[in-house]
Structure 1
């Protein structure tokens, strides 16, 4: 893949510290590595990193995000959207403990049940992160710890999610996150075909590349692409009808 698309990559490893509560689920271990050990897993020569989820559809030049002035903050996240009023009942950070703790600070997208640390897209200034010993504080929760480790709020268009943002701002989205919808619980792949118009082409390209690497033959790829394009152009109701058939 690196040869095909012209990029370089390196692998890193870091042993889970004995003094930190051990996670047993592999997925949660991966989530934790994305934020808890940023001060130790990367070489000192690396000054900045951008994390992007695998299910994130990027529609802009990431160089713009890399070069953005984040005002000396070690972390930059996108706050949760607030213009999809149907989801107001699910915005737990506007009440109780989180409302009192944040004291007007934004709650940044997005959370996971145990750590509440993982975002689909965020920027880390590793120089500032190390200077301020942010890693020592972030063994706690980033949204909880932002009084000690300040977070720069990225412009909203850098992380659009249908569940929280609604369709009014979709045209300005620079990245689209296939986030879970707690109201509909729609499967991600079904949502991808409905929400992201270029998803069919991206998925088809990925499947062609995988088949090429494995030496497999794709059965009638043109017909498959045409069929998926038709599904992509349909409504959610159409998708449900096809699934029943």
Structure 2
């Protein structure tokens, strides 16, 4: 077992037992190396790996936020893995589309108005209404809207997966936006659809919201894929039998 796996196993066991909690500091480097019977150099390398994966956060200096702290942010590791898979084409954009449709439609259909964080969602849409907003910022807020909207469902794993997809959603929608002849018309349509989705979610019309989300997501991909023959796959096209 590699050292970072040994450290992660120890952290996992400590969390499961209740001896360690998210936000707690790990023991000092010397103590932890002795506990795990690894060299301090190997331990440092392992901690760097786990920090990149979002499991830990390390800060130098003094004070309550210094040292190595358990963060347990799995979406960071999932996002990194997804970005690598997209870069190497092990996962294609249409695969992301299908996962989005599954996750977002399910989350909308199982949403609870009492769980929704509606005020921040309203503020996101208000910022997107700014006529001077750049395309990049608009689509960054668009991705944030979709991630936050999914949290109205009582399933933290869905929220984690949506957080992991955030960068992929932003990157791909931005790349496709360059192909649109009239961004103003498209953005106006997207803003209108977001308002409809939000209204349905906050008033408990989950099934309606799920349908609106599916049409909204497919609509953007269809609109951009019509102008992107180089993709080799009509990313927004419905699957056979859909």
TM-score bucket (shorter structure): under 0.3
TM-score (norm 1): 0.25
TM-score (norm 2): 0.26
Which has the larger helix fraction? Answer: 2
Which has the larger strand fraction? Answer: 1
From the CA coordinates, give the structure whose radius of gyration is larger: 2
